[in-house]
Chains A and B, each alone.
Chain A
Amino acid sequence: MLLEARNITKAFGSFKAVDDASVTLEQGDILGLIGPNGAGKSTFFNCLTGDLKTTSGRVLFEGADITDFTPELRAELGLARTFQVPQTFEGMTVLENVMIGAFLRSSHRKEAEAKAHAVLERVGMSRLADAPARSLGTPGRKRLEIARALATEPKVLLLDEAMAGLNAHEVKLAIDLVRDIHRSGITLVIVEHIMEVIMSLASRVMVFHQGKEIARGSPREVTSNPAVIAAYLGTRAAKAAAGHTPVELMGGPDL
C-alpha cells in the first residue's frame, strides 16, 4: 500500500468539509476524485499533502504514519502535488520554477538546472525555459505546476484540477502527459470536474458529496450510480434524466 487515508475528518469550525473519508492507493493506481463544487475534494487532498491539519484520522505513506508530517517532509518522502489555483513563483523564470522542485534531490545549482531542463523537455516546455513565469497563461501555468512537481521525483503525484481552464485540444495534450507520467511509474490521484478526463484516465473513482464519500468503483460504475447522478443534478432532475447517459449529463455543466 503506497498511500492510505483512514477516517479523515476536517472541520472548519463546526462545518465538516470532509467527513470520515478513507481511501487506499496502490502502486500504479490512477485514483479519480470527483464530486460537485464544494464537495470537499480539495480539502481532502490538502489533508493528504499536509497543507491542512486533519481534525481526526490518520494518513499513512508506505505503511508509516505521516499524519503529523509537514508538507516539505511529505515531499521528501515522495508526495508531490499541484494546486487548483496555480501557485507560480512569479518573480522567477520558468526554468527557475522547476529548479525549486529539482533542488529537493540535488543541492547543487548546476545539477538542479540540468534536471529542470530535462523535466521541461519532457513536458514540452523547453522553448519557454527562460521566459518569466508571470508571462504564462493558464495552460502554461498548469503545465508548469506539473513540471515542478515532477522535478521532485515523486512516487505519488496529486493533481488538483490540473485541466480546468484548458480548451479541448489542451486537455488532450494534458491527458497524454498524465499517461506518460503514469507509464514512468508514478502513482496518481486526480481531482477533476471534466468527466472525459476521469473516464479516460482513472482506474478507480471515489465520489464526494458534502464531505462524505457516496460511491466508489470503476468510472463506469460510479457514473451510472443513481446516488452520484442525484448528487450532481438533484434527485428530481436525476429521475427526469433517466435514459440519458450519465457521462453526458455530468460532463455538461463543466465543459
Chain B
Amino acid sequence: MRRWIWLSVVAALAIAYPLLLSSPFQQRLGALVLLYAIAASAWNIVGGYAGQVSVGHVVFFGCGAYAAMGSYAKFGLSPLIGIPGGIVLAVGLAAIIGVPTLRLSGHYFSMATIAVAETMRLIVTNTEWLGAAVGLSGPTVPRNVFDLSFLSSLPYYYLFLAVLAITLAITWWMTNSRMGFYLRAIKDSERAARSLGAPASRTKLYAFMLSAALTSVAGALYAMMFGFVDPESGLGILISVKILIMAALGGAGLLFGPLVGAAILVPLEEISNSWLGGKGAGLTFVVYGAIIVLIARFQPGGLLSLFIRRGKPKTDTGAGHAP
C-alpha cells in the first residue's frame, strides 16, 4: 500500500501548493504545470501506452482552444459550451488521421500527425472567420462565473487540478481494462496480440481518439486562462513538441510520468523566459533538442522509471503501474 501513501502525499502537496507559494507568479506557474500535465497525460495514452508517437498533438489542443474561444467570439456563449464541440472535432480528426495510418508502421502515423497539424495551422491562419493570424479572444470582462475568466490564477489552478485528476483516473481505469492490456501487448508484438484476438488497429484508434478528446479539453482550458487563441499558441508545432517531451522526460507509459515531466520543464521554461525575456524562445528549442538527445541516449523509460525500478526491484516496470 506504499502506492496509496505516495498518492496521498502528492495529492496533499498539489492541493496545498498555491496556498503555501501564493505569489501570482507561483500560482500561475502551478496552473501551467497542471495544464501541461493534462495535455502530456492525454498524449501519454496514445504515445506512451499505445506506443504511437504523435508529433502533431497540438491539432487537438487547437480544436479545443478554438472551439472554446469561438463559442464566445462567434456566438456570445460561455467558452465552456465550446468544450463538447472541441471534443467532437478532435475525435473526428483523430479518426480521419488514425484509420488509414494506424494499420501501417508507426512512422506513417507520426508523419501524418505532423502533416495534419501544420496544414491546419496554415488553413486557420488564412481563415478570416477564425480570426486568421490574430486569432480569437474570449470575454475581457466576465459576464458571470461561467465565462471562466478570472484575474487570479488560483481558480484556474484548482480547475486544472480537478481535470488532471479526472484525466489520470481515466488513464488508470484504461490501463486496468482489457483495452490497456491489449495496448501493452500490441506495443510488444502486434502480430502475437492479433493472433490472440486483439483487434490491433481498432484498439490503437480508440486510444488515439480518447487521447485527442482529453487534449482538446486541455486546449480549451489553456485558451480560457489566457483569454485568447491564435495560430501560434493554439496550433504551433512547439506545443506538440513540448507535450511529447514532457511525457517522455517524466516517463511515457507511466501514469505519473507526464506530471513529473511537466513539473520539471514548465518551471524551467517560465524562469528562463522571465530572465531572458523574448530571447528565451530560441533557447527553449535548444534545450528541448538537448533533452530529446539525452532521453534517447540515457533513459528511454523517462526519469520516473529510474525511481520505480529502484523502489520495486523485483517486479516489472511496464506500463500501468502507479508509483
Contact = CB atoms under 8 A, between A and B. Distances in A.
Contacts, number: 91
A71 B195 contact: yes
Q: Closest 9 interchain pairs by CB?
A: A87-B192, A104-B197, A75-B197, A91-B318, A89-B188, A87-B189, A71-B194, A101-B196, A100-B185
Contacts of A170: none
Contact of A103 (B194, B198, B315): B198
A88 B189 CA distance: 7
A93 interface: yes
Given A100-B182, A103-B182, A109-B178, A87 B191 contact: yes
A132 interface: yes
A132 B313 CA distance: 12
Contacts of B199: 70, 72
B177 A149 contact: no
Contacts of A134: 316
B65 interface: no
Interface string A44-67: 000001010000000000000000
A121 interface: no
Contacts of B188: 88-92
Given A91-B316, A91-B319, A75 B182 contact: no
B196 A70 contact: no
Given A87-B192, A101-B197, A104-B196, 17 more contacts: A70-B199, A72-B200, A75-B194, A75-B196, A88-B189, A89-B192, A91-B316, A91-B319, A99-B181, A100-B198, A103-B178, A103-B181, A107-B178, A109-B176, A109-B177, A132-B315, A149-B196
Interface of B: 176-178, 181-182, 184-185, 187-189, 191-200, 315-316, 318-319
Contacts of A91: 184, 187-188, 316, 318-319
A143 interface: no
Contacts of B195: 49, 51, 71-72, 75, 80-81, 83, 87, 149
A80 B198 CA distance: 12
Interface in A71-118: 71-72, 75-76, 80-81, 83, 87-93, 96, 99-101, 103-104, 107-109, 112
A80 B195 CA distance: 7
A92 B184 contact: yes
A76 B197 contact: yes
B181 to A, nearest CB: 6
Contacts of B192: 83, 87-89, 148
Interface in A113-157: 130, 132, 134, 148-149, 151-152
Contacts of B187: 91
B318 to A, nearest CB: 4
B185 A89 contact: yes
Given A91-B187, A92-B188, A92-B318, A152 B178 contact: no
A34 to B, nearest CB: 22
B196 A100 contact: yes
A76 B194 CA distance: 10
